[in-house]
Amino acid sequence: MNGRSILAFASLLALLPVRGLKPEAETNRITVAFWNVYNLFDTIDDPLKKDEEFTPTGKFKWTEEKLAAKIKSLSAILEELDADIVGLAEVENIEVLRRLGLAAGYPYAYLIEREDARGIDVGILSRKALKDVRNSGSGRGYLLGTYRGITFAFTHWKSKLGANTGKKRLENASFAKNLGPPVLLLGDFNEDPNEPARKTLPSLNLINLIADDHCRSFVEKSKWICIDGAYANPGNCELGADAEIVRLPRMMRGKKPDLAFSDHFPVLAHVNSCDQGN
């Protein structure tokens, strides 16, 4: 069975981390990150995906050595972010996600494949097992999991390449009405907060955690824009949520992001847990 071709495929696997996990925190604070990691593909040509560019004979001459170098670069940043739960966009499959999790010290990996033409999906790496993991909504969907009384949601909306993409992002946004509180939503929305689809999120009781003037996550035509972000709906829980875009100097090449890492900068958020359990 080719698991990568099954729409409803989900996987969680306890890996043997290279480094020991952090001891259980004394506090209820949970650190969460999201990062579009920019084409994390394996080197195998999947006939059901448009992934030919990322093969040894393809456009990018994508070899095992290049993949290993990318995983090393990404894992170094993930170690520095030191998040308990990480959502990742542009991941080809569960196998390559597990490799990154092993390198970065995350024992749980989750990915549910959708019908994206290129085969890029949203995945989660976590230090603790999540409950009720599922992917819902249109397009690449929302990858959801619960931990300590909170639903964590990660999404990657349709880009602006192609026709009628605004309509597709509005469809992506409309699913957020189903995110019952308490919830923390992080993602690559492919719009800044003042564009139509993202403007619907506050009307769904989702609070934008990153002020526009502090949100520079992606460069478009030499201009910094804010297409990655974080939202929270605390409901009756005192989440104490905050978030920021992390722009590490070593992730830059000149005035733009270094593509050895990604073309995006990660989002880092903190919330208080809503219960004392796991």
pLDDT in tens, 70-104: 999 999 999 999 999 999 999 999 999 999 999 99
126 beta partners: 85, 108
Beta strands in the chain (DSSP E): 29-40, 85-91, 108-111, 121-126, 131-136, 142-147, 150-156, 183-188, 207-208, 218-220, 223-225, 228-233, 242-245, 252-253, 256-257, 267-272
* Nearest residue to 173 via CA among 189, 194, 160: 189
Q: Domains of the chain: which residue ranges?
A: 31-272
Homologous superfamily of the 31-272 domain (CATH): Endonuclease/exonuclease/phosphatase (3.60.10.10)
pLDDT in tens, 104-152: 999 999 999 998 989 999 999 999 999 999 999 999 999 999 999 999 9
| pLDDT, block means (10 residues), the chain with 278 residues | 37 34 60 98 93 94 97 97 98 98 98 92 98 96 97 97 92 95 97 94 95 78 88 95 92 89 95 76
